[in-house]
Amino acid sequence: MKKKLSILFGTLLLACSLPLSGTTASEQRFSDVPDTKHFAEAVNDFAARAIIGGYPDGTFKPSNSITRGQAAAIIAKLLKLDTTNVKNPGFKDVRMANGYYKAIAALAQANIIGGYPDGSYGPNDPITREQMASILVKAFDLPRYDYQQMDNPFIDSKNPSHEKNILILYKLGITTGTTPNTYSPKNPITRGQAAKMMKATEEVNVPMVTVKAEDFGWERIAWVGSSEMNSGVFQAIHLRGKDTPNGYTGDRVQLIPMKEGKGAISFRSNSREGTERYKKYYVHIKEVDGELKLTLEETTDYFPAEAELSFDANDIQHISFTTMDGKKLSDDVKFTSCENGYGTCIQMDGPGQYIATVHLKNGDEERHGIEVKPTGTFYYKVETLKEQYVSTYDRGNFDIGKHTIRAENYEQLVTITRDPGTNFFTARLTGDKEGFIRIEFERGERSELYQETGIYISIRKLGSIMNIEIHRDGYTTDM
């Protein structure tokens, strides 16, 4: 019994709440931690703050490993977590009588630590260097940089569960590894290494702004749009929350300034009723006293949008522009070739419905309806529709047999004809409503991956502009 008690006493020493003396943090407190050790400052500071303690013989034993339970106790103290009002995390090997129970429960409740797949926590297991990295990133909510864009100097750190967190610590200067190209992720972290790493994490200065769902009065942040303007001036990292007994919580976005400039960001939340809510901000980044400072400015602004028309810009003489009810806006709208290389684009500066009449160099004219709708982001939703009252479709020489129109009262929308002895179909608008009509063939052509069933006619409307089109119908198949 005495042996068990002495072992328990020894494991608790690292998280001892009593400082060993009243000396300052910079003074040597342990006989085996001289000032020349790279971890001495961290060990002495933590001891002065009653975060850690040593052994009865006046040593710290910096080369000894620490357990997962001890690490939980230290981090709970560093974060000043409430370890009184905690809920049982349910780890099968962490009973309430365990000396680390409250710290483990507090960290689990804060979603900082988790257990093993078998439902245990392993409080007496030595904590590895990679496990410590992941715990510190979560505990101090360090910026979750895109690790795939970071160079990994450590040839032995490829575990997908921990690699990104090791690289975050490396990027922030918290760790340099055990050698320039190794991190020794599976090795138990020593007491000296742990103290130094925790101290460095505590002191790291990251000019980051964290936006939480509750800042907007939301439960969740469902989507973040951060590439809307000068995306290189900041990074936005969307972190998901979790379900708790009191509901879902924890959604947040880390905003990390990268350089001076002005950007933009949008946030969206989906309510339980399906309603979408948005917030949008300009992101201002300025250097203040040698440090990048990020501020947010809420706005209702929109960026100019483009309406794309399916013409080669070289074939256009000019474009006239009116409102949907015929009010003239311009006889010569500026147009350019779209940046994507397809079609002609017109800049749209505000919401509404419009008609663009394209005058071609060959003398033809073509009208297009344009609708510009506001959204919750910085971009309008733009829809265009070509005015077309007749559409034709020629199936060629394949023997499709008879055709059957699968729609009731379609005559109120369109007249459909098929030239005798051919597979040439014509559809003409007769109404002013939208609709969809399917026409089945008696025999459809079968290819390797597609079964033809017929054609379908779509009738669309944008303001007063009507459009009818015929398309092939069918479905993909297995080989």
Write out pLDDT tens, residues 206-252. Answer: 889 999 999 999 999 999 998 878 778 999 999 998 876 667 788 99
Cα of 2 vs its chain's centroid, Å: 54
* Alpha-carbon torsion, ordered 184, 189, 194, 198, to 10 deg: 50
In terms of phi and psi (left: phi > 0; alpha: psi -120 to 50; beta: otherwise), the region of 133 is alpha
Q: How is the chain split among helix, strand and coil, in percent rounded to 5?
A: 20, 35, 45
The long-range contacts involving 169-178, CB below 8 angstroms and separated by at least 24 positions, are 169/133, 169/136, 169/137, 169/142, 169/197, 169/201, 171/145, 172/142, 172/143, 172/204, 172/206, 173/200, 173/204, 174/136, 174/200, 174/201, 174/204, 175/133, 175/200, 177/153, 178/129
- DSSP-based three-state secondary structure for 310: coil
Alpha-carbon distance of 479 to 476, in angstroms, equals 9
User: If you search the block for the tokens 């047999």, which residue do you land on?
Assistant: 401
CB–CB of 72/98 below 8 Å? no
* Element (DSSP H or E) covering residue 364: none
**In angstroms, rounded to a whole number, what is the distance separating the alpha carbons of residues 415 and 325?**
27
Backbone phi, psi, residue 168, to 5°:
-65, -45
Q: What is the DSSP letter of 330?
A: E
Are the CB atoms for 367 and 467 separated by under 8 Å? Answer: no
Strand order in the sheet with 305-309: 305-309, 344-348, 336-337
CA distances from 146 to 71, 150, 236 (A): 27, 7, 10
* pLDDT of res. 23: 43
Tokens 């991190």 identify what position? 183
**pLDDT value of position 14:** 37
> In 3D, which of 328, 339, 338, 332 has the Cα closest to residue 317?
332
As a whole number of angstroms, the distance between CA 200 and CA 178 comes to 16
Residues 6+ away with beta carbon under 8 Å from 16: 50, 52, 53, 54
Torsion of CA 82, 85, 89, 94, to 10 degrees: 80
Q: For the chain, which residues score pLDDT lower than 50?
A: 1-23
* CB crowding 87-99: b at 16 or more within 10 Å, else e: eebebeebeeebb
Count of residues making up the chain: 479
Task: Say what the alpha-carbon torsion angle 199, 201, 204, 210 is, to the nearest 10 degrees.
Answer: -140
- Residues in Cβ contact with 300 at an 8 Å cutoff, skipping those fewer than 6 apart: 280
- Alpha-carbon distance of 88 to 82, in angstroms, equals 14
Contact criterion met (CB below 8 Å) for 29 and 43:
yes
Q: Is the sign of the CA dihedral 30, 36, 38, 42 positive or negative?
A: positive
CA distance 379 to 348: 11
**Predicted local confidence at residue 426, as pLDDT:** 98
- The pair of three-digit structure tokens given for residue 130, joined into one six-digit string: 């990679």
Alpha helix positions (H), 140-208: 163-171, 191-203
* CA nearest to 136, candidates 79, 88, 214: 79
Q: What pLDDT is attached to residue 16? A: 37
Closest Cα to residue 127, out of 213, 51, 191, 40? 191
Q: What is the pLDDT of residue 52?
A: 93
CA 245 and chain centroid, separation: 25
